[in-house]
Amino acid sequence: MEYRKLTQEELDKELSLASDYYKSNTGRPANFAYCDLRGLDFSKSLLRDATFEGALLEGVKLRGTFLGCSFVNSKMNGAGLNGTFEQCDFFRADLKSCNILNAEFSRTVLVETNLEDVYGKTTYFDKCIMCNSDFENAKLQQATITSCNLDNCVFNNALMSDAMFENNKMYDVDLSGSLINPKNFINNRISNNAFKNASIAIKREKEQRNDV
């Protein structure tokens, strides 16, 4: 695959046109499909209907607002997603080791997405479709996941003891080795055996009660 390498100057021109499109429908949506965007600055971006399909975004900091943007098959290893992502599509995107600190994902598709080793604090997922995604070794501190479809997701060895899960669909979810607090699972439709191997937080809680 041959990627088109953009300079910061070229990117800034694209972002200026995209900002006009976001605010007033003048200009046009940005097209970064199969572009090499590594090392570029996306601070305070306002993007609507932009495509990042197949783009190289390793280590890039994505700050700002992204509405209806496509990140399908993008490579985002180690990127910083610290903005608002609404009605976006991360189908089969590689977000391994991403920093999603204070990020908000709303009505967004994260299906078959690689989220291994992500770090998220006060991160919000609301009404997202997240089936068949991999959160192995993720650190989700004070994260809130509400009204999402998490069927067949893998949370092996994830640290989520203070993460809140509410009103989610969670059939065949794998929580093996994860650190969770079952009190933070509220009104979820979840498989009966989902907690089978996620006993660390539960055992610690019982041990603390028994010590009193």
Q: What is the pLDDT along the chain (212 residues), one digit of tens a residue?
A: 789 999 999 999 999 889 889 988 887 899 999 999 999 999 889 999 999 999 999 999 999 999 999 999 999 999 999 999 999 999 999 999 999 999 999 999 999 999 999 999 999 999 999 999 999 999 998 999 999 999 999 999 999 989 999 999 999 999 888 998 888 999 999 876 666 667 544 444 444 433 33
pTM reported for the whole predicted model: 0.90
The per-residue pLDDT for 32 is 96
Give yes or no for a contact between 106 and 88, defined as CB atoms under 8 angstroms apart: no
CA distance 91 to 167: 23
Output b/e per residue, 55-82; b: 16+ Cβ within 10 A: bbbbbbbbbbbbbbbbbbbbbbbebbbb
CA distance 177 to 193: 14
The per-residue pLDDT for 212 is 33
CA distance 20 to 16: 6
Beta strands in the chain (DSSP E): 4-5, 35-36, 41-48, 61-67, 80-81, 84-86, 104-106, 119-121, 124-126, 139-141, 144-146, 159-160, 164-166, 169-170, 179-180, 185-186, 189-190
Return the bridge partners of 45, or none.
Answer: 64
The per-residue pLDDT for 210 is 35
Give yes or no for a contact between 177 and 199, defined as CB atoms under 8 angstroms apart: no
DSSP SS3 for 203: helix
